[in-house]
Structure 1
Amino acid sequence: MISGSTGSVGHALVQTARAAGASVIALVSSDEKASQAREAGPHFVINWQHGNVVEDVMALTEGKEADEAFDPVGGHLFSLLLASLRRMGQLISIGFTGGKEVSVNLLDIIGREKIVKGYALHSDTPEQDLNS
């Protein structure tokens, strides 16, 4: 799953995930953005303003839930992405255009052993770049 799929980071993530062979679910906030997101080539697009993201992801994954989520948006979407992950799924937080404060269900994280990571591109050192 990739939130903010019409932004520059989200758009690039959709394309990169597709190139890596992933089945991609793009999350967007409007029908107009859904059309734009489809240009990057995700397998599915969910307008999180309509319906229930967790239920939609369950339906699209045939009850398996998502393996990973990339979140350049933060805010309310962070919690929706986290709730849509499978047991031991991983959420990578890479931005907060939608807000820096989030609400999480610790029982969901602990009980289902989910992984939450933060990533800041500008924090990479030259050594990390060479080891990538």
Structure 2
Amino acid sequence: MSSNHYQQGLKHLESGQLREAEEEFLQYLTQCPEDAMGYNKLGLVYGKGHDFERAKACFLKAIELDEGCIHAWNNLGNIARQDGDLDQAIRYYQKAVDIDPMNPIPAKNLKTVQRQAKWSFSRIKDLLGKNRD
């Protein structure tokens, strides 16, 4: 029965029915409280609903349960990047890449945010240099 809640949660998440997805994943997690992927999926629901604090808490719980949950590390990177904390995003993406170097998603995200961070630092440095003249 519990896997049914998980599957229903996935269907609702894919169709954008966030409240229904949340209910299904919460029911699933009451029956399977040690499932890191259940917390990761619940975090996705909250993230899609722009409740980033709850999303982050779910991703951290997923990592607490399974430090090798690359999806949760990648999702934490996404939140940090969105918050403008590029250094933290790099650390989260790097952790995901360290766990699974062959997974293209965190590797792509890491390269993208590294370019953003380099550009941001270079741009700020240029602006500060121009203001001194």
Q: Provide TM-score, normalisation by structure 2.
A: 0.29
Larger radius of gyration: 2
Greater fraction of residues in strand: 1
